[in-house]
Chain A
């Protein structure tokens, strides 16, 4: 108690809530996830209640859009002793921009707590703040303390996957990686050697809340490439010497819980955590207004819920007021909003139904989210679907793994009903516009509620020498590599049409290579792939034209044996997807052989060691005569030499 008071006396505790998510993961259900309901309460309410009970004195809600909604939401509620103010800035496109704006406005007076408006938890912040102050005394450069929760080996969404290197003694964060790169974690050896003992941990959950020093907003201002918090942490770890700032970690005591809702998958997980009462006292039966009653098997019911006599509420169910559940309907692990009607014989599992939704009889929903005011007809089967607001699905539709919205917004949306269309992410189409700005940005996962168990990645035994191994087409290609590829294609297309000299192209490709930190073998592979697929014309004439034009590129990139293998692998992969190329592949390889791009040994090695025994057979069949010819000439040469 005394220590807590000491913290309070020194200064007011400020918390900055970044209310915009700056991504569209939750579309088409909502554009503004901060006010989206989670177990029938807006997310922002969880966040503010948590801060209020953690004895934060001043909360600054930072908004870019939907300011009026947020303001009216905040003014309609009481927040105890905490003062809540709304700061708006319409020019911010990321958390980084918001921090720079905050720096310009000079609202921060001391150490502060930084979080998004999607935090759910019952954590105490004063101990974390005090811990940060203690660290600051021993390390002047301590800029940020990230807060983690030990979650053990829990299957979680890929976004929540986190690999950390933490100094055992000082709790300093040495390495921070969201996902493994080909099954490997990259750690700077030099960084590790500087510390006594480093723990590598994968059992921590990022609570999406941190304690920041006053120096954090200026650091954002100085570094314009910091867009997200991850960028910031990465930047600080990598450029520790230049920025002279360090990041520390704080692990919550066992009895405290905190988590941030960043995707549909952890939306579902966190809902279940609330229903299982990990967030106590922030649980449905303890809300001050319209509390729920808790029943056996974690079934929470609000007032005026009409339940048919033989409906089955199995377990972990929350139902809002004035909803009605009809005969023989079965509900498990789901949240139903207010004024909903669930028809007879419906089976609803692992789903979230928002307010005023009407589901007719006999429908089946599994791992679904249904937005406000939607209508779902008789016998509809939905699996792993996100249904936007006001959508109408006709009876007997069967939809899996889709996002559905009520109106058509772009050409790629396919109709699945009169008032229902599929919805695709903008970021998928415009990936190189938005996402390529910096390498640390990971495009939001574009999936539904369902979390597939993550595949066990086998580590390639000698990934350095045999580069082709890591680039199998069936394995999902890394984001960076993908971005790099699209950039290469762009530069080549431009170069080919404007007849730019190839040396310029080499410069461009190299610069994008460094921008995305792509290994050399992938560069070779992608360059060849780009040349082959440019214009999607695989007729021999156009191919030869292209190869002649880009010959300097071949000379520049395909230099040694392993690069040749990369080149051949690229040909093989492109041919697999585009059959026309298979027919001319022999001519193509012969041409490259004639031009001295490919050497005999490399071709033989590629031919006799297929990367995957069951694939690439068709192209090998086509190429076989050429290989035989090669073998013959070789033996002839040998004979001649004899």
Chain B
């Protein structure tokens, strides 16, 4: 009876959490941390007997998240990425503990169970929960400090009297510039990022932080690029090949930068690394088309029935246009992304 109640409690928590995400209760930058918190509750409730069941439960959350909350309402790809990292942690801890036990119990078991990768994670280990929780706390700290860690590298990349072009708006981007402004004096040009006008919001934030900021219309990005020393942008997702799924307009900026040989730096905390590849421009899971509002107004009347209006949320920026990724662990070239992926995620968890 008690067990059933506990299960209900967890189920209700998961549903409530998904509704919260859906209703936008959490800030975009906090969602990864909230994901870890939820998993910690699942781990802490003792509702699972072995690592396999726990992983099933975590995968179920991932599937629910994918089905119920689509990627545009939140940054759900990073939630899914965090869940994959959690799965990796569960696997690691399980195998480590199993090995330990095996050494203690018998030499034979250690010899026969030599191939750890094929373990079915079915053995119940009483200390597993505590070990996972420890590891999850580490992960949580990492996520909490990722923005700070990226900002800490700002002075390495921005130098005095440089002109920096940027686009879109995110907390990491603003923090990065604010941190750099503590030591350096530089100028920021912000592309407006129509139709979402996120660029304007960023410009306001930077202006309040007393950074010299100018707003540039998207259409003038190319003409002004010759004056720019560096392009620094955020991204929504880093694709498995080192390409970007980022705010609409990024591709334009990256192409212009490539034409004038201006380096393009991308601020990307590790949880934005995804296993996704772009196979075709029509790939439905890649892009999202928003309401045409902003491109044209509903009040524009009859013209609307005579034209097709597209308002894609994202651009795909191919990896060869990106010079450097700045993650919370340092700078990486796009060609190095695959290495991160194998370190962070277990190949069996690609499909949640």
Q: Is the CB of A152 within 8 A of B299?
A: yes
Q: Is the CB of B301 within 8 A of A151?
A: yes
Q: In the complex, which residues of chain A have a beta carbon less than 8 angstroms from the beta carbon of B292?
A: 276-278
How far, in whole Å, are A80 and B23 apart by their CA atoms in the complex? 10
* Partner of A154 from B68, B72, B301 at Cβ < 8 Å: B301
How far, in whole Å, are A276 and B293 apart by their CA atoms in the complex? 10
How far, in whole Å, are A298 and B297 apart by their CA atoms in the complex? 18
Q: Is the CB of B299 within 8 A of A255?
A: no
Q: Is B159 an interface residue (CB 8 A)?
A: no
Q: Is B304 an interface residue (CB 8 A)?
A: yes
Q: Is the CB of A278 within 8 A of B299?
A: no
Write the chain A residue with the least CB distance to B282: A295
Q: Is the CB of B282 within 8 A of A152?
A: no
Q: Is the CB of A154 within 8 A of B304?
A: yes
Q: Is B284 an interface residue (CB 8 A)?
A: yes
How far, in whole Å, are A152 and B296 apart by their CA atoms in the complex? 12
Q: Is the CB of B291 within 8 A of A297?
A: no
Q: Is B19 an interface residue (CB 8 A)?
A: yes
Q: Is A153 an interface residue (CB 8 A)?
A: yes
Q: Is the CB of B308 within 8 A of A254?
A: no
How far, in whole Å, are A289 and B297 apart by their CA atoms in the complex? 30
How far, in whole Å, are A52 and B70 apart by their CA atoms in the complex? 16
Q: In the complex, which residues of chain A have a beta carbon less than 8 angstroms from the beta carbon of B308?
A: 276, 297-298, 315-316
Q: Is A160 an interface residue (CB 8 A)?
A: no
Q: Is the CB of A153 within 8 A of B73?
A: no
Within 8 A of B (CB), among A141-163: 149-155
How far, in whole Å, are A296 and B280 apart by their CA atoms in the complex? 13
Q: Is the CB of B298 within 8 A of A286?
A: no
How far, in whole Å, are A53 and B301 apart by their CA atoms in the complex? 27
Q: In the complex, which residues of chain B have a beta carbon less than 8 angstroms from the beta carbon of A278?
A: 291-293, 298
Assuming the contacts A80-B19, A296-B282, asked whether A277 and B300 have C-beta atoms less than 8 A apart, the reply is no
Whole-angstrom distance between the Cβ of B77 and the nearest chain A Cβ: 16
Q: Is B103 an interface residue (CB 8 A)?
A: no
Whole-angstrom distance between the Cβ of A181 and the nearest chain B Cβ: 25
How far, in whole Å, are A231 and B338 apart by their CA atoms in the complex? 67
Whole-angstrom distance between the Cβ of A295 and the nearest chain B Cβ: 6
Q: Is A611 an interface residue (CB 8 A)?
A: no
Whole-angstrom distance between the Cβ of B26 and the nearest chain A Cβ: 13
Q: In the complex, which residues of chain A have a beta carbon less than 8 angstroms from the beta carbon of B300?
A: 152
How far, in whole Å, are A294 and B311 apart by their CA atoms in the complex? 13
Q: In the complex, which residues of chain B have a beta carbon less than 8 angstroms from the beta carbon of A446?
A: none
Whole-angstrom distance between the Cβ of B87 and the nearest chain A Cβ: 24
* Partner of A153 from B289, B297, B302 at Cβ < 8 Å: B302
With most chain A CB atoms within 10 A of its CB, the pick from B70, B289, B298, B299 is: B298
A315-359 Cβ-contact flags toward B at 8 Å (1 or 0) = 110000000000000000000000000000000000000000000
How far, in whole Å, are A238 and B309 apart by their CA atoms in the complex? 43
Q: Is the CB of A155 within 8 A of B302?
A: yes
Q: Is B28 an interface residue (CB 8 A)?
A: no
Write the chain B residue with the least CB distance to A153: B301
* Partner of B291 from A55, A272, A280 at Cβ < 8 Å: A280
Assuming the contacts A152-B300, A154-B302, A276-B309, asked whether A288 and B67 have C-beta atoms less than 8 A apart, the reply is yes
How far, in whole Å, are A621 and B282 apart by their CA atoms in the complex? 74
Q: In the complex, which residues of chain B have a beta carbon less than 8 angstroms from the beta carbon of A286?
A: 70
Q: Is the CB of B299 within 8 A of A150?
A: yes
Q: Is the CB of A279 within 8 A of B284?
A: no
Q: In the complex, which residues of chain A have a beta carbon less than 8 angstroms from the beta carbon of B299?
A: 150-152, 203, 254
Within 8 A of A (CB), among B274-296: 282, 284, 289-294
Write the chain B residue with the least CB distance to A296: B282
Q: Is B57 an interface residue (CB 8 A)?
A: no
How far, in whole Å, are A288 and B63 apart by their CA atoms in the complex? 12
How far, in whole Å, are A280 and B70 apart by their CA atoms in the complex? 12
A286-322 Cβ-contact flags toward B at 8 Å (1 or 0) = 1010000111111000000000000000011000000
Assuming the contacts A278-B292, A281-B73, asked whether A152 and B68 have C-beta atoms less than 8 A apart, the reply is no
Assuming the contacts A254-B298, A296-B282, asked whether A81 and B19 have C-beta atoms less than 8 A apart, the reply is yes
Write the chain B residue with the least CB distance to A275: B308
Q: In the complex, which residues of chain B have a beta carbon less than 8 angstroms from the beta carbon of A315?
A: 308
How far, in whole Å, are A281 and B311 apart by their CA atoms in the complex? 13
Q: Is B305 an interface residue (CB 8 A)?
A: yes
How far, in whole Å, are A285 and B67 apart by their CA atoms in the complex? 12
* Partner of B304 from A203, A254, A276, A285 at Cβ < 8 Å: A276
Q: Is B22 an interface residue (CB 8 A)?
A: yes
Whole-angstrom distance between the Cβ of B281 and the nearest chain A Cβ: 10
Q: Is A232 an interface residue (CB 8 A)?
A: no
Q: List 26 A-B contacts (CB under 8 A).
A: A53-B23, A55-B23, A80-B22, A151-B299, A152-B302, A153-B301, A153-B302, A154-B301, A203-B299, A254-B297, A254-B298, A257-B291, A257-B298, A272-B305, A276-B309, A277-B290, A278-B291, A279-B291, A280-B291, A281-B72, A285-B289, A288-B68, A294-B284, A296-B282, A298-B308, A316-B308
Chain A residues engaging chain B, CB cutoff 8 angstroms: 53, 55, 80-81, 122, 149-155, 203, 254-255, 257, 272, 276-281, 285-286, 288, 293-298, 315-316
Chain B residues engaging chain A, CB cutoff 8 angstroms: 19, 22-23, 67-68, 70, 72-73, 282, 284, 289-294, 297-302, 304-305, 308-309, 311
Q: A80-B19, A154-B302, A288-B68 are in contact. List 10 more A-B contacts (CB 8 A).
A: A149-B298, A152-B302, A255-B293, A255-B294, A257-B293, A276-B309, A277-B290, A278-B292, A297-B308, A316-B308
